[in-house]
């Protein structure tokens, strides 16, 4: 149907402005509104199917929760039994990742049982995992929660992921306990694992137990900070300190990770010394890391637009598609030697794919498509998702296998277990959560529903609802119910939910994709945007706005790829009504965003350029 409509446009006479505008408007709507119908995966055709997928997989993990002593077991068989021969451990990493998964399962299904398991896992982690002597987390916990291997190094990898579950729980429930523990862990990371040196800033890879000898830099220390908490933390608070941290992380990614790519046969350097010197003996580069880095950059670009982020994300993703992607069966291959470019088979006769790396191809591909509208990235996500659901998902017992061959077969040498020190419920549930949201809001342009639970409080509260990175232009809150009854105390565009003191219950929030060309984002309290006229325009617009106080004003024009293509105003302005006449010669016809920033506030509104 989409093709037939687009073909019919060829019959229109574009000799007049009227028809040109008509064409651009309909083309924009066709690209941004029409439901997806040509993809392979039924989970992209109908994202609601992912609700049952998440429910099935979350249920799998409930069987390995210890009701008597608390906590999820770490080592889990295919059938959902504890692998006692590997140890009856309950790592901090497991608790945080499984708690995250339980929270997202509740948000997708509305089943409060998952919140109970999340709460119990986090309480076990808080009670047993914190190092009361030096701060930070002791990852290795016994069945009873006794701390083990206490002299081991404290890694940024573990300490970033320890924040994953607490932040997700705070996002969905507003629990002050989770926020307090999140801040406790976050402050350890910022004071003990962050290198403040202006020439080599960034997260250290690890430190000793006493946190007195931090050393090294790495992919995990850098990118996993963004994926576990840094992006979402800014989205949920809009505090400048967290925005500044995101910019620093992005700078590390561009300067060091992406900056090393041109000297490698494939991928980027993942291990560095403290001064960001590449460790020559560390030559492994992982395609899931390359794709995850692209996903992070495009998500940061959604809230802090910068064309460098999109350009780098393209470079990263395109390299995987060109050098390390299975174009016959779908999905990225796993590991390579960055110097020689050779695939690392680890003694296996066939090429292999990993569950978490497949996730990066799916979620990263969908975000890349959302950002660039390049159908190659949608196809990557679609093919990978289809392969994943057909061969990684265990239809007999639930949850996903860790590894498959390129054709989807099992790998006997590696086993078919479901949980270990690195694999938990996190990746499979996160895949379902984000694919559900991306699929509804940015592929099919249909509503998506998430659930939130807020306990009673003595004070009024305001929750910011931003499940996907977005600068208030991609989706709005369409409706809310509280325990099944209509609830009206919310702000659609700002996506805030007001919760009076004493109010408790389950809120069902429906998010609507923003369609059409009059999208407006309002995050300003100290100025207003009155009009952009004419809209559509042939290249000359008048922007009327009102400043409540004098100060610096920056007006930017941003294209659909997130690139800043013009900055017509960038300077001091007096208070009061302002009228800026902006000339945009030689602009390619299409949809653009006009961003006005003033004193840490921003308004974004879209307009059309025609010819």
Q: Is the pLDDT of residue 545 over 60?
A: yes
Residues 408, 433: one domain? Answer: yes
- Tell me the pLDDT of the chain averaged across its residues: 90
Task: Give pTM, 2 decimals.
Answer: 0.81
Q: Give the number of domains in the chain.
A: 3
- pLDDT band of residue 531 (cuts 50, 70, 90) is confident
**Domain final residue pick, 443, 459, 491:** 443
Residues 115 and 441: beta-carbon distance below 8 Å: no
pLDDT in tens, 236-286: 999 999 999 999 999 999 999 999 999 999 999 999 999 999 999 999 999
The CATH number that applies at residue 555 is 2.60.40.1930
Asked if the structure places residue 536 within a domain, the reply is yes
Asked if the structure places residue 53 within a domain, the reply is yes
Residues 58 and 425: beta-carbon distance below 8 Å: yes
Residues 123, 233: one domain? Answer: yes
Query: Token pair 């004003």 is at which residue?
Result: 553
Residues 412, 451: one domain? Answer: no
Residues 457, 600: one domain? Answer: no
Cα–Cα distance for residue pair 585/100, rounded to 1 Å: 49
The region of weakest confidence among 13-27, 44-58, 160-174 is: 13-27
- pLDDT band of residue 561 (cuts 50, 70, 90) is low
H-state helical runs in 424-552: 426-438
Maximum average pLDDT range among 1-5, 205-209, 459-463, 537-541: 205-209
Residues 93 and 158: beta-carbon distance below 8 Å: yes
**Domain final residue pick, 422, 443, 464:** 443
C-alpha distance from residue 408 to each of 76, 289, 330 (Å)? 21, 21, 10
Q: Is the pLDDT of residue 65 over 90?
A: yes
Domain containing 456 equals 447-514
Residues 438, 451: one domain? Answer: no
Residues 480, 551: one domain? Answer: no
- CB proximity list for 584: less than 8 A, separation 6 or greater: 537, 539, 540, 541, 557, 566, 568, 609
Residues 146, 269: one domain? Answer: yes
Residues 469, 565: one domain? Answer: no
Asked if the structure places residue 25 within a domain, the reply is no
């Amino acid at each position: 149907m989409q093709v037939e409509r687009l073909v019919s446009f060829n019959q229109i006479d574009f000799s007049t402005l009227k028809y040109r505008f008509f064409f651009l408007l309909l083309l924009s709507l066709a690209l941004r509104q029409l439901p997806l119908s040509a993809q392979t995966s039924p989970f992209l055709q109908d994202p609601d199917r992912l609700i049952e997928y998440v429910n099935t997989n979350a249920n799998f993990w409930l069987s390995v929760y210890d009701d008597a002593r608390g906590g999820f077991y770490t080592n889990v068989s295919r059938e959902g039994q504890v692998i006692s021969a590997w140890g009856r451990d309950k790592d901090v990493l497991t608790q945080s990742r499984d708690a995250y998964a339980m929270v997202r399962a509740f948000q997708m299904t509305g089943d409060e049982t998952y919140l109970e398991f999340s709460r119990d896992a986090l309480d076990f982690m808080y009670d047993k995992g914190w190092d009361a002597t030096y701060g930070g987390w002791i990852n290795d916990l016994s069945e009873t929660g006794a701390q083990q291997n206490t002299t081991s190094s404290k890694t940024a990898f573990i300490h970033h992921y320890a924040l994953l579950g607490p932040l997700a729980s705070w996002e969905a429930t507003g629990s002050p306990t989770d926020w307090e523990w999140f801040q406790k862990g976050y402050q350890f990371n910022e004071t003990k694992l962050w290198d403040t040196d202006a020439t080599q800033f960034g997260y250290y890879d690890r430190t000793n137990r006493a946190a007195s000898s931090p050393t090294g830099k790495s992919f995990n220390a850098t990118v996993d900070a963004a994926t576990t908490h840094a992006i979402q933390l800014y989205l949920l608070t809009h505090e400048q300190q967290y925005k500044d941290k995101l910019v620093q992380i992005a700078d590390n990614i561009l300067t060091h990770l992406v900056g090393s790519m041109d000297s490698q046969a494939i991928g980027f350097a993942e291990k560095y010394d403290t001064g960001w010197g590449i460790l020559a003996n560390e030559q492994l580069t992982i395609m899931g890391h390359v794709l995850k880095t692209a996903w992070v950059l495009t998500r940061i670009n959604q809230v802090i637009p910068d064309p460098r982020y999109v350009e780098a994300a393209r470079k990263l993703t395109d390299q995987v598609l060109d050098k390390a992607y299975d174009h016959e069966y779908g999905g990225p291959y796993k590991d390579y030697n960055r110097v020689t470019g050779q695939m690392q088979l680890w003694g296996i006769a066939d090429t292999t794919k990993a569950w978490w790396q497949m996730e990066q191809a799916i979620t990263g591909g969908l975000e890349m498509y959302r950002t660039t509208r390049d159908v190659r990235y949608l196809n990557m996500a679609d093919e990978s998702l289809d392969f994943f659901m057909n061969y990684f998902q265990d239809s007999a017992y639930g949850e996903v296998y860790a590894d498959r061959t390129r054709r989807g077969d099992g790998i006997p040498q590696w086993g078919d277990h479901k949980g270990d020190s690195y694999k938990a419920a996190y990746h499979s549930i996160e895949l379902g959560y984000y694919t559900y949201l991306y699929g509804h809001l940015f592929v099919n342009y249909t509503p998506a529903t998430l659930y939130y639970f807020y306990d009673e409080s003595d004070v009024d509260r305001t929750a910011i609802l931003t499940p996907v990175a977005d600068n208030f232009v991609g989706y709005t809150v369409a409706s809310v119910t509280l325990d099944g009854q209509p609830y009206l105390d919310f702000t659609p565009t700002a996506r805030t939910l007001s919760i009076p003191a004493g109010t408790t219950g389950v809120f069902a929030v429906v998010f609507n994709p923003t369609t059409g060309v009059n999208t407006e984002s309002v995050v300003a309290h100290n100025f207003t945007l009155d009009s952009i006229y004419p809209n559509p325009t042939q290249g000359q617009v008048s922007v009327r706005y009102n400043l409540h106080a004098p100060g610096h004003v920056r007006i930017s024009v941003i294209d659909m790829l997130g690139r800043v293509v013009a900055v017509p105003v960038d300077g001091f302005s007096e208070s009061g009504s302002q009228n800026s006449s902006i000339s945009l010669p030689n602009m390619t016809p299409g949809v653009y965003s006009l961003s006005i920033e003033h004193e840490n506030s921003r308004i974004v509104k879209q307009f059309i350029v025609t010819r």
